[in-house]
Structure 1
Amino acid sequence: MIRTGAQYREGIRDGREVWVEGERVRDVTAHPAFKPIIDVKARMYDMAHDAKFQDALTYTEGSARHSVYQQPPRTKEDWQRKWHAVDLLLNDIGGVATRLGDETVGEMWSLQDGRDILAEIDPRFADNIDNHIRRVVELDPFHVSANTDPKGDRSLPPGERDPDMMIRVVKETDAGIIIRGAKFETAAAYADQAYLKPTVGAWTNEAESPHAVGCIVKMGAPGVRHICRMPYANRAPAEDIPLASRFDEVEALVVFDDVLIPWEDVFFYRHTRAAQQVRATLHRYSAFPYVLRILYVADMMIGAAMWNAKQTGLEKLQSVQEKLADLAVYREGIRAHLTASIALAEVSPAGLLMPNQSILYAGRVLACSQLPAMMHAARELMGGQICVTPELAQFRGGAAPWLDKFYTLNKEWGAEDRRKLLAFARDLLNSDYAGHRLAFVQFAQAPHFNHLQAVYKSFDFSGPLDFVRRSAGMSERILGAAANKDKH
């Protein structure tokens, strides 16, 4: 059944070991570094119980009501409902949060598409992924992704590095496997569980590699230690950091110190073919909600820049309109790719409906690669005041009369609304938090070269090849030869 926000909070008060700013956190739900984003996740749960939203955010199966976010997609309507659910959530919370679970549960659907490979290793592993997808639907956990290892000196092969630099199996027991190592994870400190899998894609002679492991890890399990980065949320009054104070999704180096993974939570281990399958298909579903989040970031940039133009009376200048149009084209380009990926969706090997892979991955490249340029365009439209405007205390202190005078634009736009817009734009475009979010977009679903590789592998080159062959009058036999070469 769908959970409440209170049940979610209670579930993560499990004695987990969380460290931030050199101190052990006793209650992650009350600590100022985590409470704002935990409140956002709790609101996500509570909305599903609100009569105003329940029909849009849930579905019924038998006599049970489940979350649309966790529903394995089988129709185009399922994807439209997921999009609408995210729209309702982000409008309700008034901002963008990326790691809320709906964008990572799709990684398990991708693994289910490769269940035949899991069955080759051990039939239990194929059953485990089916069972966990069912448990996600039934128990509605906050599910995150455990991808990036510290890796160490990558000029050395894995066998010559400190073995703990990548997650590894150190022991097999009757109860399960014992793992050791570390992962960098977003939102791990306040999530229920993580899908842990290897980041290595180019396996060579490591057919029995102890690093080739995929499993579910409970974030409060014994031996799991969360060492978090310093948060942005407690550095300044919320009025000066209106986004960071609510949506800072704190990352952690999660250390696994001889953690027991019960057999029912193991999907594969010591099997590089399964690891390769994971890396090749990991984002076939999860890329959709991830790119959708960037659509809302584009909306925030457009809204901030347009309000600034209206406040300052510059919205009728052609040069301003052209830059706003650039932002609009970027935004609509993302929307077009998402819409088309649903319209031309494809049936997956497991019988789910996955967004059209070539279109979705092309949209991800557009959204991620162009974001730095679009942020700079928005900065230009906002002007230099986003980096020179004083903090709230100055507007409330002895300097208030001067600030009120010089930040009041006219009878319609007073100093307070001007300050609020500039504080919002600074946090969106020009702050530590803004830089962090930009770097996150560039690497959260792998770096750009992997994004391009995903497009290369999913795009159907046969159409362009055949068109040019026929247009140039080339022999028909070369098309078959090219296709055979691609297979090898």
Structure 2
Amino acid sequence: MIRTGTQYRDSIRDGRRVWMNGERVKDVTVHPMFKPLVDIRARMYDMQHESALRDTLTYDEGDGERHCIAHKLPLTRQDWWDKRRATDLLLEDIGGVVTRVGDETVGEMWSLFDGQDVLNELDPRFSSNIRAHINQVVHGDLFHVSANTDPRGNRSKPPQAQDPDVLLHVVKETDAGVIVRGAKYETAAAYANQAFTKPALAQWGNDEHSEYAIGFICDMGAPNLRFICRTGFATRAPAEDYPLSNRFDEVDSIVVFDDVLIPWENVLFYRHTKAARFLQNTLHRYSAFAFVQRNLKLADMLIGTALHNTRQTGVDKLQAVQDKLSKLACYREGINAHLTAAIALAERSPAGLMMPNQSLLFTGRSFATSQLHEMMNTVRDLCGGQICLTPDYASFRNEETGPWLDKFYTLSPQWKSEDRRKLLAYARDLLNSDYASHRLTFQLFAQSPPHAQTAAVHQHFNWDEPLDFVARSAGLSEDVKGIDAPADGDGAVSQWFRDQMDGE
């Protein structure tokens, strides 16, 4: 059943070993650099219990209990409309964008649900395990995150030719489960309940049954886990000057698995490279939707910031300004169109789930991420140089400097200096701060690197229709209409390098 914010906080006070800035964190729920996101996640849990929001955020599957709509298996197009509406409501309430809150990663398990036939080739237990864990997320209302990326070491070498721990792997089998060693980079892991942990790259060599080919659910409170976190942005500078950094920083960790026991019931595949490759090729068929939807809300933040500034300064009627605003609108509506069409033209998956139209979803993701840096630069242009020149909040409050700043930053009877300062601080944090640069990089690589995103587009686009149309239009002979691309010759890219091109 749905949890409360208090229940969530209590669930992550489990003695987990977390470090930040070289110091042990005793309680992530109160540490100043973790607390803002813990509070947001707790707020999301509490929202599910509010009568006005309950029907949008939860559903009853006939068992007399309410469950989170984000965790519901998507069986119909309406399920996707409901998920989209619920996410919009959450983001509107918290006033910004967070990327790792659970709904964007639970979809990765749905992809493995589609691959049950592949899992059954090795061991039917693994297929039942994935069904059990999908049910557990639904009924336990867990904060579920994803663990893909390893330290990797020297990428020109397979793991067997260097320190074996650069990729997470199994070191021992026991009656209770498998013992794993290595590390993973995980966003939000230090304050999540569990992570779907799986291989990022298929560097198996010729070994069909590799110790690196393992996927499992890991309890984030498990013994022998260590969380070594990057320094958070919250509290590094005053919230009045950096309102986004202090609210929406999702702290990333390198999670060290120091001989961690994974019970057999939590293992979803093991020593099965075919299952690992299947997951790599299908990992984001559902999870990409929530990721792209967050890009849509980020686009709204960019447009609102630019429009407020141009109206404050009275230049919003200039044609050159309107051209740039229209460019932002096209970017925003391009994302919106891809999301809408992906639902409208949704497809049935191998296991009977309703998956967003894959070509439209992945082209939408590539469109949203590849143009984000350009849109941010457009907003910088529309905001002008004051976002990098404006003094800090303390100067506005100083009895000697404050009156001067009040004089120069008051634009009209409606736009007083305080509102002007707030907007410029917001814009600076959205576009120019350390946090802004971090988020831009994160958005670029959060699901997979750009080359893997375009590879997904190439894989799912229907190339036959334009081929057939031109063949008919140009009057080509029947002999060439059905010819496939030529097979790779001596100059082909190696299979190992192809594996590097797979999704993260």
Which category of TM-score, normalised to the shorter sequence, fits these structures?
Answer: over 0.9
Identity of aligned residues (%): 63
Q: 1-side partners of 2:478 and 2:90: how far apart?
A: 53
**What is residue 437 of structure 1 aligned with on the other side?**
439
Letter in 1 for 2:283: L
Query: Structure 1 stretches of 5 or more lacking a match?
Result: none
Contact kept in structure 1, 2:158 and 2:203, CA below 8 Å = no
Residue type matched to 2:26 in 1?
R
Runs of at least 5 residues in structure 2 that lack an aligned partner in the other structure: 489-504
Compute the displacement of 1:482 (Å): 2.2
CA distance in 2, matches of 1:363, 1:449: 15
Q: How does 1:125-140 map to 2 (within 5 A)?
A: 125-140=126-141
Equivalent position of 2:349 in the other structure = 348
Letter aligned with residue 358 of structure 2: Q
Amino acid in the other structure paired with 2:293: L
2:74 alignment partner, SS class: coil
One-letter amino acid matched to 1:200: L
Alignment of 1:245-284 (within 5 A): 245-284=246-285
The within-5 A match list for 1:56-135 is 56-62=56-62, 63-135=64-136
* Amino acid corresponding to residue 464 of structure 2 in structure 1: S
The Cα shift of 1:483 comes to: 8.3
CA distance in 1, matches of 2:280, 2:392: 45
2:421 match: secondary structure? helix
Amino acid in structure 2 at the alignment position of 1:460: N
Opposite residue 178 of structure 1, the aligned amino acid is: I
Contact kept, 8 Å, 2:159 with 2:203, in 1: the verdict is: no
SS of residue paired to 1:24: strand
TM-score when normalising by structure 2: 0.95
C-alpha separation in 1, matches of 2:277 and 2:289: 21
Q: In the superposition, relative to structure 1, how do residues 171 and 423 fare at CA in structure 2: closer, same or farther (>3 Å)?
A: same
Written as runs of structure 1 = structure 2, the 5 A alignment for 1:9-28 is 9-28=9-28
SS at match of 1:159: helix
Q: How far, CA to CA, are the matches of 2:5 and 2:478 in structure 1?
A: 62
Partner of 1:168: 169
Counterpart in the other structure of 2:491: none
Aligned counterpart, 1:400: 402
- SS of residue matched to 1:482: coil
SS at match of 1:409: coil
Preserved CA contact (<8 Å) 1:125 1:266: yes
Q: Segments of 4+ in structure 1 off by > 6 A?
A: 483-486
Please provide the CA RMSD for this pair.
Answer: 1.2
Distance in 2 separating the partners of 1:392 and 1:20: 28
8 A Cα contact 2:60 2:66, kept in partner: yes
- Give yes or no for contact 2:225–2:255 (8 Å, CA) kept in 1: yes
Name the count of aligned residue pairs: 486
Alignment of 1:386-397 (within 5 A): 386-397=387-398
Q: Does 1:242 align with 2:259?
A: no
CA positional deviation for 1:203: 4.3
Task: For 1:319-358, list aligned pairs within 5 A.
Answer: 319-358=320-359
| Cα pair 1:203 1:276 within 8 Å, conserved | no
CA distance in 1, matches of 2:202, 2:165: 18
Q: 1:481, CA displacement in angstroms? A: 3.8
Where 1:362 maps in the other structure, the secondary structure is helix
Q: Deviations over 1:240-297 (max 9, x none)?
A: 1111111100000110000000000001111111110111000000000000000011
**Contact between 1:167 and 1:211, CA under 8 Å: does it hold in 2?**
yes
Aligned to 2:484, which of 459, 464, 482? 482
State the SS of the aligned residue for 2:246.
helix
What's the CA shift for 1:477?
A: 3.9
Note if contact 1:193-1:216 (Cα within 8 Å) is conserved in structure 2.
yes
Contact 2:115 2:278 in 1 (8 A): yes
The offset of 1:388, in angstroms, is: 1.0
Residue 307 of structure 1 is matched in structure 2 by 308
- Conserved in 2, the CA contact under 8 Å of 1:14 and 1:220? yes
* 1:473 partner letter: G
**2:29 counterpart SS class:** coil
Quote the offset at 1:468 in angstroms: 1.3
**Partner residue in 1 for 2:463:** 461
After TM superposition, the score normalised by the length of structure 1 is 0.98
Measure, in 2, the Cα distance between the counterparts of 1:330 and 1:195.
32
